[in-house]
Amino acid sequence: MADILTPSAWLLALLQALLFPALAPLLVGWVRKVKARLQNRRGASVFQPYRELRKLLFKEARVAHTASPLFRAAPSVVFVATWLAAATVPLLTIDLPTAVVADIIVLVGLLALARVFLALAGMDVGTAFGGMGASREMMISALAEPAMLMAVFTLAMTAHSTNLGSVIAHHLGDAFVLRPSYLFAFAGLTLVALAETGRIPVDNPTTHLELTMVHEAMVLEYSGRHLALMELAAQIKLLLYGVLVANIFFPWGIATDPTPVSLAIGFGAILLKLALLGAALAVAETVLAKMRLFRVPAFLNLALLLSLLGLLSHVILEVGA
């Protein structure tokens, strides 16, 4: 593994890290577009999220009088932590030095760091909505994190490594065996992804109703560039989960060597996979209503149960078989 820690590999890692914020708004725009078409609307252009971010960046950032320095620092912390987490996820190629220095557990940790600051910022100004959002976010994440770790451990046990690159490589070299443990882990991780990225049925990213919000309630007091960072961080998180699901469970197409041709194929493949995943998300969001807040624990318990079943089926069916 040490041989991939070369300058060119680091350059590739940097390129990949830059691709995340560059592509994240596009995925959101795509999901919105598909949703609009499913609702018989024309919908805004897929590039609309970029325009919104630019608009926010050029707007004045207003901060409440009661805000502490934490309130101003939080957007940067949340953004950087989410971005760093994204940088450890193989997007185009599995030969990623960042994946070597930071494994899946670091990824989960970075996301947790971002969440802690997001929740703190939500409570900082002292409005009722922010506190409500923070408390709900913590309830959801407290249940989602174990489920996510469990799903991740299932993969790690199969590959005997917590390095995402190795996990994907192991899966690629598996000759496409359909493993029950992967199916369970896939289902579990998908549910976690829906909850963690604030999508229907757990949270509604498009709602205007403060009393029902989770993620949006915490960023209600932000404006201008602060809000732009928070929004971009949320979009990167969605992309991160999308790439995670796409590349771990459907790794075909990802570059295994750093040649331009295979990188181009890897890029095309991930775009295609994300487009399909985004469309599936849009369909799910169209046919489902948001669930009642206190049903969310049941939803996440299901995710935990699925991940646990994945782990068990790995131990029972796959080890030594």
Partner 1 sequence: MSRFDWLSEYLARLEDDHLIARHGDNRALAPAHRLELDAEDWGPAGRIAAAMGLRHAGVWADPLGPGPMESDTEIEGPAIRVQACLEQGGDYLILQTLVSQARPVLGSHTPAYPGVDRLERHAQDLTGVRFLRHPDERRWTRHQAWSADDYPLRADFPIEGRSAGRTPADVDYPFTRIQGSGVYEIPVGPVHAGIIEPGHFRFQAAGEDVLRLEERLGYVHRGIEKIAVGRDPQGLIRLAGRVSGDSTVAYAWAAAQAMERAAGCAPPPRATSLRALLAERERIANHLGDIGAICNDVGFAFAHVQCARLREQWQRRSAALFGHRLMMDTLVPGGVAYGLSETGFRELRLDHAALHKTIEPLFDVIDDHPSLDDRLIGTGILAQADARALGCTGYVGKASGLDFDVRRDSPYAPYDQVRVEVPEETAGDVAARVRVRMKEVRASLWMLDRLLDALPEGEIAVPFPRPEEGAMGLGLIEGWRGEILCFVRFAEEGRIARYFPRDPSWFTWPALERLIHGNIVPDFPVCNKSVNGSYAGVDL
| Binding residues for partner 1 (CB under 8 A) | 35, 38-41, 128-129, 132, 200-201, 204, 206-212, 285-295
If the CB atoms of residues 8 and 40 are measured against partner 1, the closer one turns out to be: 40
- In whole angstroms, give the CA distance from residue 89 to residue 92: 9
If the CB atoms of residues 97 and 133 are measured against partner 1, the closer one turns out to be: 133
% helix, strand, coil for the chain, step of 5: 75, 0, 25
If the CB atoms of residues 209 and 261 are measured against partner 1, the closer one turns out to be: 209
- Helix, strand or coil, per DSSP, at residue 93: strand
User: What tokens were used for 133?
Assistant: 């959002």
If the CB atoms of residues 148 and 195 are measured against partner 1, the closer one turns out to be: 195
- Shortest distance, CB of residue 208 to partner 1, whole angstroms? 4
DSSP at 256 = S
If the CB atoms of residues 180 and 297 are measured against partner 1, the closer one turns out to be: 297
- Shortest distance, CB of residue 87 to partner 1, whole angstroms? 32
- Shortest distance, CB of residue 32 to partner 1, whole angstroms? 11
If the CB atoms of residues 175 and 287 are measured against partner 1, the closer one turns out to be: 287
- In whole angstroms, give the CA distance from residue 97 to residue 312: 31
Q: 234, 178, 169, 182: which is closest to 206 by C-alpha?
A: 234
If the CB atoms of residues 211 and 261 are measured against partner 1, the closer one turns out to be: 211
- Shortest distance, CB of residue 204 to partner 1, whole angstroms? 4
Q: Where are the alpha helices (DSSP H) in 39-163?
A: 48-57, 69-87, 97-101, 104-124, 128-159
Helix axes 164-172, 104-124, angle to 10 degrees: 130
- In whole angstroms, give the CA distance from residue 80 to residue 91: 18
- In whole angstroms, give the CA distance from residue 23 to residue 242: 12
- Shortest distance, CB of residue 34 to partner 1, whole angstroms? 13
- Shortest distance, CB of residue 182 to partner 1, whole angstroms? 28
In terms of C-beta density within 10 A (0-12 exposed, 13-18 middle, 19 or more buried), how is residue 302 classed? middle
- Helix, strand or coil, per DSSP, at residue 255: strand
- Shortest distance, CB of residue 190 to partner 1, whole angstroms? 17
Q: 44, 36, 28: which is closest to 275 by C-alpha?
A: 28
